[in-house]
Amino acid sequence: MVTNLVVIMSWGGQGRVALDAAVAAGFAVSAVLDDSAPEGMTERSGIPIVGTPDDWRAQPGGTSFLVAMGSTQRRLEIGRAILEAGGNLPTVVHPGAWVSPSASLGRGVIVMHGATIHVDASIGDFCIVNANASLDHDVRLEAGVSIGPGVTFPGTVTCLEASSIGAGVVVLPGRTIGRGATVGAGAVVTKDVADGATVAGNPARVLEPRG
């Protein structure tokens, strides 16, 4: 059991949900590093805020970290820095989630309440799988992917590094979501999504940058 876990949070909501998942999973959370707390706030859920995410290096030896930021790139940056420094990044699975014994979960993965991860799925380091998402057989997530609440992957879907899948998205089997791509909430993805693209709608279409 991890007895000295520091949760690294940012932008509020995602981190608070992850903090709840860690506590529900039985982790002893000793402190929070949070750059989104309102001025004057000194704790989250009764756990002291002791700095911002960049203060992780100042934590005592033997500290474990849960990097729970919503930003995929920031989560990758800090998670990889902690690993390079020899730090520990445990995986947190809410007791209300279900993970197949044949699925593999990387370091620092967070699986929220009601999520299901099915046979032979592969979840890379620092991925977040939010509440009630369903990742069916042979789904593959590379490092740092964010899966929103209620997402449905019927099987054999691949999400490349740091891609972000919004709430309620459906991706058809065999499709690939490109590196750093964003899929807007409620989209139905029927074709592969290119690296860095933002898509939305049913069927999902590329959104052009606004001038």
Residue-wise pLDDT tens digits, 92-135: 999 999 999 999 999 999 999 999 999 999 999 999 999 999 99
Has residue 146 got a pLDDT over 90?
A: yes
CA distance 159 to 90: 22
| Domain spans of the chain, in order of start | 5-90, 91-201
CA distance 76 to 127: 9
The mean pLDDT of 199-209, rounded to a whole number, is: 92
Q: How do residues 36-91 score in pLDDT, each as one tens digit? A: 888 888 988 888 999 999 999 999 888 999 999 888 999 999 999 999 999 999 99
Q: Which fold has domain 5-90?
A: Rossmann fold (3.40.50)
137 in active site: yes
Q: What is the mean pLDDT of the chain?
A: 93
Q: Which fold has domain 91-201?
A: UDP N-Acetylglucosamine Acyltransferase; domain 1 (2.160.10)
More confident: 69 or 208: 69
Catalytic residue among 94, 113, 118, 137: 137
Q: Nearest Cα to 171, choosing from 196, 143, 202, 149? A: 202
Has residue 1 got a pLDDT over 60?
A: no
Neighbour count for residue 59 (Cβ, 10 Å): 19
The answer to whether the beta carbons of residues 147 and 133 sit under 8 Å apart is: yes
